[in-house]
Amino acid sequence: MKLPSLLTLGAALLPLASADGAPGGALGAKLCQAATIKVWQLPIPGDCTRFVKCELTNASVFTGLSEIISCTDGQFFNPIIQTCDDPAASGRLLDGGGTYKN
């Protein structure tokens, strides 16, 4: 009995892979070109509340698949720890009105 390859199995589950976010599309494809094995979740310029999660191979090559993830509960994406964080800890600057820039 021949077992399905992981690639076939992964392709069959692909619609479920973006259940936590929207497909990254052209924006994800552009931003994920800078992804590395150590940095695979990248900020979206001008939007502190979302980030792009890039899928990489073991050789650190972008597979072409990405998803856009939104932070919840007023959190901002922190590129240092690659996850959503309190705005004060996210490394984002305060604007003149005392609120965090988005």
- Domain assignment of residue 98, yes or no: no
Q: How many domains does the chain have?
A: 1
- Domain assignment of residue 43, yes or no: yes
The mean pLDDT value for 79-100 works out to 77
Q: How confident is the model at residue 59 (pLDDT cuts 50, 70, 90)?
A: confident
Average pLDDT of the chain is 75
pLDDT recorded at residue 98? 52
Q: Report, in this order, helix, strand and coil percent for the chain, each rounded to 5.
A: 25, 30, 45
CATH code for position 74:
2.170.140
pLDDT recorded at residue 94? 58
pLDDT recorded at residue 45? 87
Residue 51, pLDDT above cutoff 90? yes
pTM: 0.68
Interatomic CA distance for residues 39 and 55, integer angstroms: 11
Two structure tokens written together for 87: 């705005």
- Rounded to whole angstroms, what are the CA distances from 67 to 18, 77, 97? 6, 14, 32
